[in-house]
């Protein structure tokens, strides 16, 4: 978890976008979202409407109306815990989770996690959840003995996305090929990255999405 990560202007549509990490694969973006989170140190709650970005490494929520205090939130998938899908009778579908801070050392650090709620204000939960769940499962699956832990090519991610069922009425943007992302940078110190074992597991799980 990192507050106000570095953003850039997307080359394709001119909208704010995360500065993509080396070896990171863009999977989807989703408009019509609302984020609410609680600062663990003060208990203060913050929220905004905006766009959710999902990759094989993280989620990044970018506010439609950024302020100097809060423009975006970076959530490493390897630091997500106790995630839960909520489909209430009244109100919109949402996902809740605890996410540990990168700056505090992640789950083994000395700081409590941030409690985060992602509201799907305009639908789209059915497209998002299978991809999100499979990536989390892949990240958490231990590698087989002797497995290559280097960063892979983009093909497993692209195969996973192509296998996903997409509602034609859902405005989620799925990246069947990697978009032009402009600058790429190395993750900050302490940031968990995704390795070959996780993308291999994503390929194996792709058949569950059709």
Alpha helices in the chain (DSSP H): 125-140, 155-163, 196-205
Residue 68: DSSP 8-state: S
Helix, strand or coil, per DSSP, at residue 192 = coil
Instruction: Report the range of poorest mean pLDDT among 29-38, 103-112, 165-174, 191-200.
Output: 191-200
Stretch 52-64: mean pLDDT: 92
- Asked if the model's pLDDT at residue 174 lies above 90, the reply is no
153 - beta bridge partners?
Answer: none
pLDDT of residue 106: 85
Structure tokens belonging to residue 85:
């899908």
Looking at residue 84, which CATH number applies to its domain?
2.30.29.30
Range of the domain at 24: 2-209
Q: How many domains does the chain have?
A: 1
**Pairing, β 114-120 against β 7-9:** unpaired
d(CA 155, CA 57): 15
Q: Is the pLDDT of residue 205 over 50?
A: no
pLDDT tens profile 9-36 = 876 666 788 888 887 888 889 999 999 9
**Mean pLDDT computed over 119-127:** 90
């Amino acid at each position: 978890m990192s507050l106000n990560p570095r953003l850039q202007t997307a080359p394709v549509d001119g909208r704010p976008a995360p500065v993509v990490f080396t070896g990171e694969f863009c999977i989807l973006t989703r408009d019509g979202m609302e984020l609410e989170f609680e600062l663990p140190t003060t208990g203060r709650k913050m929220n905004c409407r905006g766009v959710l970005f999902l990759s094989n490494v993280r989620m990044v929520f970018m506010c439609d109306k950024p302020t100097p205090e809060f423009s975006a939130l970076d959530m490493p998938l390897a630091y997500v815990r106790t995630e839960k899908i909520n489909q209430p009778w009244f109100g919109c579908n949402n996902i809740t989770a605890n996410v540990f801070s990168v700056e505090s050392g992640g789950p083994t650090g000395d700081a409590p996690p941030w409690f985060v709620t992602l509201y799907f204000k305009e639908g789209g939960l059915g497209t998002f959840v299978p991809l999100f769940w499979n990536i989390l499962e892949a990240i958490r699956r231990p590698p087989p003995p002797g497995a290559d832990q280097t960063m892979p090519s983009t093909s497993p991610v692209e195969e996973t996305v192509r296998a996903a069922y997409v509602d034609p009425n859902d405005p989620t943007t799925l990246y069947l090929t990697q978009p032009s992302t402009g600058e790429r940078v190395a993750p900050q110190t302490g940031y968990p990255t995704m390795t070959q074992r996780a993308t291999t597991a994503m390929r194996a799980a792709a058949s569950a999405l059709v």
